[in-house]
């Protein structure tokens, strides 16, 4: 009965939080663009830079393309559009006949729509890799794998339907990220491991590790005068139509907290689960010996997990690091850039969260386990 009550309480809290996120005033009127899927039917003309003449100053190549709309009210209709290619490879969409693309339709009253190619159609490949991932989880993990899929879906829903909407309304991103982390941790562990001492210890250990690491990151970030605007996406928030005054430093540290959660929860569960197994196999083990075993297990996990986080962040920064090497940028300049300082603090904070969670989880688990007299 107690477990059911706890589970019902968790569900009620989540529902209340979701209602809070959506029981607000209507969104402001934002002009909506029409994006639809389409296909390149024919490449009518391709003009190179030499053939463009005066236009070559602003473009490298121009394609005249016939495209067909595959959804929406213009489904089945074909349009001719220009596809401009510049010297910036990131923004270029060089299409070929038969390519699946996303079309942007700009409707003008009394006229037909203006059609532009906005990107390649990539979502079907994203769905393919997601389906492969889910199938592997279920096939290899069985019942546990299915539970993992459920917790993954719940995690995504909490972030997309609770945390982000409330941040967009101007609520504190740090507070929301901490609440979201606690909810995600509770739901994940209760679904996967059930209502038991192992889950309770992991939840407490994870919460302590994440909150302390986040607090430390915030203090260091303030002292280092990080702006929170090191990424292009954060800067773009300055111009969104809702005219919200974001706490950009808060957004930065909210991201650090959320990014730390997965690794910290993994380590805490490893420690708590191992200690629980030791206790079951050796019920007479003394509390101090059990805690010592938990700490030793945590030390082994700590080395690989801290490397995992550092390597993950380094992997995303390879182009930037290559850029610094290519221009022989001094170490002083590199370390004092806002974007580099941000990434260093982000990566090290995650590792600190892992390190802190180990002793807390070990001691919490040790004192939750009843010592045999």
> What is the DSSP secondary-structure string of 124-182?
HHHHHHHHHHHHHHHHHHHHHHHHHHHHHHHHHHHIIIIIHHHHHTT--HHHHHHHHHH
Answer whether residue 13 is part of any domain: no
Query: Is the same domain home to 208 and 324?
Result: yes
In the sheet that 61-69 helps form, which strands lie side by side, from edge to edge?
Answer: 78-85, 61-69, 34-47, 100-106, 114-120
Report the Cα–Cα distance between both ends of the chain, in Å, rounded.
29
Predicted local confidence at residue 107, as pLDDT: 77
Query: Is the same domain home to 185 and 49?
Result: no
Answer whether residue 265 is part of any domain: yes
Beta carbons within 8 Å of 86's beta carbon, 6+ residues apart = 58, 59, 60, 92
Predicted local confidence at residue 57, as pLDDT: 58
Answer whether residue 161 is part of any domain: yes
Query: Is the same domain home to 217 and 285?
Result: yes
Query: Is the same domain home to 325 and 265?
Result: yes
94 and 27 Cβ atoms separated by less than 8 Å: no
Nearest to 209 by CA among 327, 112, 298: 298
Query: Is the same domain home to 147 and 294?
Result: yes
Q: What is the largest CA-CA distance in the chain?
A: 92
Answer whether residue 194 is part of any domain: yes
Q: Looking up tokens 């994006």, which residue turns up?
A: 35
Answer whether residue 1 is part of any domain: no
Query: Is the same domain home to 345 and 211?
Result: yes
User: Taking the CB of residue 165, how many other CB atoms lie within 10 A of it?
Assistant: 18
53 and 85 Cβ atoms separated by less than 8 Å: no
Average pLDDT, the chain: 82
Whichever domain contains 207, its CATH number is 1.20.1640
Indicate the number of domains in the chain: 2
Answer whether residue 5 is part of any domain: no
Query: Is the same domain home to 195 and 105?
Result: no
pTM of the model: 0.76
Answer whether residue 81 is part of any domain: yes
Query: Is the same domain home to 323 and 189?
Result: yes
Give the domain extent around 166: 142-368
Query: Is the same domain home to 265 and 298?
Result: yes
Whichever domain contains 91, its CATH number is 2.40.50
pLDDT < 50: residue spans in the chain: 1-2, 5-6, 8-9, 12, 23-31, 373
Query: Is the same domain home to 99 and 181?
Result: no
Query: Is the same domain home to 238 and 312?
Result: yes
Predicted local confidence at residue 39, as pLDDT: 94
Cα(368)–Cα(373) distance, rounded to whole angstroms?
15
Predicted local confidence at residue 56, as pLDDT: 56
Query: Is the same domain home to 114 and 150?
Result: no
Answer whether residue 181 is part of any domain: yes
Cα(3)–Cα(196) distance, rounded to whole angstroms?
9
- Which residues make beta-bridge pairs with 63? 46, 83
């Amino acid at each position: 009965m107690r477990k059911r009550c706890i589970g019902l309480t968790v569900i009620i809290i989540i529902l209340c939080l979701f209602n809070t996120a959506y029981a607000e005033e209507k969104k402001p009127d934002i002009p909506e663009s029409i994006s639809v899927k389409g296909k390149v039917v024919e490449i009518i003309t391709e003009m190179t830079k030499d053939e463009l003449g005066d236009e070559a100053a602003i473009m490298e190549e121009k394609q005249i393309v016939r495209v067909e709309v595959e959804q929406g009210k213009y489904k089945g209709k074909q349009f001719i559009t220009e596809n401009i290619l510049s010297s910036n490879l990131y923004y270029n969409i060089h299409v070929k006949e038969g390519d699946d693309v996303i079309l942007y339709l700009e409707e003008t009253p009394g006229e037909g729509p203006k059609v532009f190619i906005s990107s390649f159609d990539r979502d079907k490949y994203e769905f393919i890799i997601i389906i492969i991932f889910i199938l592997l989880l279920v096939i290899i993990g069985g019942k546990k794998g299915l539970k993992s899929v459920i917790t993954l879906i719940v995690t995504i829903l909490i972030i997309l339907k609770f945390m982000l909407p409330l941040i967009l309304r101007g609520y504190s991103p740090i507070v929301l990220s901490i609440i979201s982390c606690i909810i995600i941790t509770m739901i994940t562990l209760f679904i996967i491991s059930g209502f038991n001492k192992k889950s309770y210890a992991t939840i407490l250990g994870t919460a302590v590790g994440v909150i302390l690491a986040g607090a430390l990151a915030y203090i260091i970030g303030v002292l280092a005068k990080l702006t929170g605007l090191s990424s292009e996406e954060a800067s773009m928030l300055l111009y969104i139509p809702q005219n919200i005054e974001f706490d950009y430093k808060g957004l930065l540290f909210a991201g650090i907290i959320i990014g730390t959660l997965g690794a910290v929860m993994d380590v805490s569960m490893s420690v708590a689960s191992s200690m629980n197994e030791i206790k079951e196999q050796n019920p007479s083990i003394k509390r101090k010996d059990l805690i010592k075993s938990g700490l030793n297990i945590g030390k082994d996990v700590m080395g690989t997990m801290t490397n995992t986080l550092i390597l993950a962040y380094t992997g995303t920064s390879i182009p930037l690091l290559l850029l610094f090497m290519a221009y022989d940028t001094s170490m002083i300049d590199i370390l004092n850039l806002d974007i580099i300082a941000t990434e260093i603090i982000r990566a090290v904070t995650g590792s600190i969260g892992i390190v802190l969670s180990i002793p807390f989880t070990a001691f919490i688990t040790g004192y939750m386990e009843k010592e045999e007299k």
